[in-house]
């Protein structure tokens, strides 16, 4: 019992540290990649290639003065950043990140908790994240924040359905809800190491997942809750200092979470070539895939302009939802007939 508690605690500490470190350096990646895509240089002076910039930013945000406007609803105003931060980090509890092995004579599973309903856990937790944004908007007592919050809730309701349906195809084919089991099924020993990845059987589902994931994390082109050209900063307009940075970190943690789940569902998780001889490579493959996903995320931001509000709603309800329903039906039919 004690051994399990100690091993789990170490795993939790390691995963949280890696995720927070990843969040910090995701901001650096974003500024650097965006900079180069827009013919700028990005952060340069703090450390080589600006590598110390995230640390400098963190220190700056911690020491900034906290300003709380008079009109806020105190309790919810203080709670909102935490409500948006905690679900973002909780998601990582079920993501498998490597081959199970033994370290110093102890059997260690490379996942914090191997729930048999893992993917449902992910969706239950991520659906709670929206409350942080909505409550921040409502409790700030500012019209910009309120509008950001309302937009966020409407967007979340509209895209949550397609988001949920986009993964049904994978679940139908795999016949399991456990993320560990999903990764195992995508393994392949042939030279075509990606032969069993679900992206090949579910290309439409993958596309839907990517679109809805971008919408769920409020990133461009779906960042209407914080559209700076019309709403100043949307739901986080009235926040400053550490509370602001918690929103900031949770946005990046959400991006990484969505990337991890997407990689696990469609891109084979930690599967890759040579892992049977060198099991530690699994973690490298997983990291590489997640970083590539993050790069594409930033690429999207540099490429697309923001949607107009009515376009966003029409796209969600009139395009994504029918396509997602079609994909579900088609996959169900194919699985029943034994084609997949």
Partner 1 sequence: MIDTVIFFVSAVIAVGSAVMMISQRNPVLSVLYFIVSLLAQAVLYVQLGALFLGAVLIIVYSGAILVLFLFVIMLLNLRGTEDLGPTGPAVSRASKYLVSVLLLVELVFVIKASFFSAVPVGIVDVAPSEFGSVESVAELLFSNYLYPFELTSILLLAAIVGAVVMAGRLRDTHQEEGETETPTTDVQIKEEV
Q: What minimum distance in Å lies between the beta carbon of 73 and partner 1?
A: 8
User: What is the rounded CA–CA span in Å between residue 130 and residue 149?
Assistant: 9
> Residue 300 or residue 325: which is nearer to partner 1 going by CB?
325
Nearer to partner 1, 59 or 157 (CB): 157
Least separation, in Å, of the C-beta of 115 and partner 1? 7
Pick the closer one to partner 1 by CB: 237 or 245. 237
> Residues in the site for partner 1, rule: CB under 8 A?
76, 115-117, 120-121, 123-125, 127-128, 130-131, 134-135, 137-138, 143, 146-147, 149-151, 153-154, 156-157, 160, 164, 177, 309-310
Residue 284 near residue 122 (C-beta atoms within 8 A): no
- What does the block give as tokens for 284? 């490298």
**Min CB(135)–partner 1 separation in Å:** 8
Least distance in angstroms from the C-beta of 288 to partner 1: 30
Tokens of 278: 């060198």
Least separation in angstroms between CB 80 and partner 1: 11
Say what the alpha-carbon torsion angle 261, 89, 158, 197 is, to the nearest 10 degrees.
0
Which residue lies nearer to partner 1 by CB, 125 or 256? Answer: 125
Q: Is the Cβ of residue 148 or residue 221 nearer to partner 1 in the bound state?
A: 148
Phi, psi of 102 (to 5 degrees): -120, 130
DSSP output for 267-306:
S-TT--TTTTT-TTHHHHHHHHHHHHHHHHHHHHHHHPPP
Is residue 106 within a helix (H) or strand (E), and if so which, with residue range?
A: strand 106-108
Pick between residue 127 and residue 240 the one whose CB is nearest to partner 1.
Answer: 127
CA angle 289, 88, 50 (to 5 degrees): 60
Closer residue to partner 1 in complex, CB, 131/206: 131
Tell me the closest approach of the beta carbon of residue 76 to partner 1, in angstroms: 7
Radius of gyration from C-alpha coordinates of the chain: 21
Q: Give min distance, CB of 139 to partner 1, in A.
A: 8
- Asked if residue 249 lies in contact with residue 163, where contact means CB atoms within 8 angstroms, the answer is no
User: Residue 108: enclosing H or E segment and its boundaries?
Assistant: strand 106-108
Cβ atoms within 10 Å, residue 3: 9
Report the residue number, 96 or 149, with the smaller CB distance to partner 1: 149
CB of 122 to partner 1, least distance (A): 9
Rounded Cα gap, residues 106 and 109, in angstroms: 10
Q: How far is CA 196 from CA 38, 116, 187, 213, in A?
A: 37, 21, 6, 23
Asked, as a colleague might, if the bond just before 221 is cis with ω within 30 of 0, I would say yes
């Amino acid at each position: 019992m004690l051994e399990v508690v100690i091993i789990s605690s170490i795993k939790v500490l390691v995963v949280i540290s890696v995720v927070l470190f990843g969040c910090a350096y995701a901001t650096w990646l974003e500024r650097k990649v965006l900079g180069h895509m827009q013919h700028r240089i990005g952060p340069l002076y703090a450390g080589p290639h600006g590598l110390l910039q995230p640390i400098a930013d963190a220190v700056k945000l911690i020491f900034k003065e906290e300003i709380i406007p008079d009109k806020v609803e105190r309790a919810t105003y203080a709670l909102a950043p935490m409500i948006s931060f905690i679900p973002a980090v909780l998601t990582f509890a079920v993501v498998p990140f490597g081959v199970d092995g033994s370290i110093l004579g102890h059997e260690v599973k490379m996942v914090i908790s191997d729930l048999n309903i893992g993917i449902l856990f992910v969706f239950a937790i991520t659906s709670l994240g929206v409350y942080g944004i909505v409550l921040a908007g409502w409790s700030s007592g500012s019209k910009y924040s309120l509008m950001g919050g309302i937009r966020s809730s409407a967007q979340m309701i509209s895209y949550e359905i397609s988001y949920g349906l986009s993964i049904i195809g994978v679940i139908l084919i795999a016949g399991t809800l456990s993320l560990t089991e999903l990764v195992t099924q995508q393994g392949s020993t042939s030279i075509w190491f990606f032969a069993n990845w679900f992206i090949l059987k579910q290309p439409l589902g993958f596309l839907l997942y990517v679109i809805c994931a971008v919408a769920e994390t409020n990133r461009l082109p779906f960042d209407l809750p914080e559209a700076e050209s019309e709403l100043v900063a949307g739901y986080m307009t009235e926040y400053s200092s550490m509370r602001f940075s918690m929103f900031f970190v949770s946005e990046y943690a959400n991006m990484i979470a969505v990337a991890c789940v997407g990689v696990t569902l469609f891109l084979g998780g930690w599967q890759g070539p040579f892992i049977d001889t060198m099991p530690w490579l699994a973690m490298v493959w997983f990291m590489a895939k997640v970083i590539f996903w993050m790069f594409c995320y930033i690429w999207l931001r540099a490429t697309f302009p923001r949607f107009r509000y009515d376009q966003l709603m029409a796209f969600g309800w009139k395009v994504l939802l029918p396509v997602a329903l079609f994909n579900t039906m088609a996959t169900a039919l194919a699985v029943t007939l034994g084609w997949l």
